[in-house]
Amino acid sequence: MKGMGNLGNLMKQAKKLQQELERAQAEIAEMKVEASAGGGMVTAVVNGKGELLNLKIEREVVDPEDIEMLVDLIVAAVQEAQKTAVEKAQEKLGPLTQGMNLPGIPGL
């Protein structure tokens, strides 16, 4: 049957792409991204999926009279780390996905 060779090649390419995607997703899941706010007074660490792994708050920034500022710094640090994680995930997967929507990877 003519054309079956092309189908076989297409299947091989699809399998290779799937393996590359799985490897890239595993690397992203293991990735750690750090961002800080307030001149380093609050530092957030997220994984490649944007999940918060760690939060460091310097003692000097904790003021019982100004909790709102502390909350703002925490939110800013976490959001920046998450944004950076999405950007790095897009960089890693971009050439492989070319606009596909992949579940579990924010922003893709």
Q: 20 Cβ partners below 8 Å, 6+ apart?
A: 96
Q: Helix, strand, or coil here: 79? A: helix
pLDDT at residue 51, as a whole number: 93
pLDDT digits (tens, 9 = 90+) for 19-62: 888 888 888 888 999 999 999 999 999 998 889 999 999 999 99
Domain residues of the chain, as ranges?
4-97
> Residue 12 has what pLDDT?
84
pLDDT tens string 64-104 = 999 999 999 999 999 999 999 999 988 888 776 665 555 55
Q: Could you give phi then psi for residue 49, rounded to 5 degrees?
A: -90, 0
CB 42 within 8 A of CB 58: yes
Dihedral, CA of residue 20, residue 25, residue 31 and residue 37, to nearest 10: 130
The set of residues, in sequence order, having a beta carbon less than 8 Å from that of 45 and lying 6+ positions away, is 32, 33, 34, 52, 53, 54, 55, 56, 81
Q: Which two tokens stand for residue 7?
A: 């189908």
Question: Of the CATH numbers 2.60.40.1260, 3.30.1310.10, 3.30.540.10, 3.30.565.10, which one belongs to the domain with range 4-97?
Answer: 3.30.1310.10
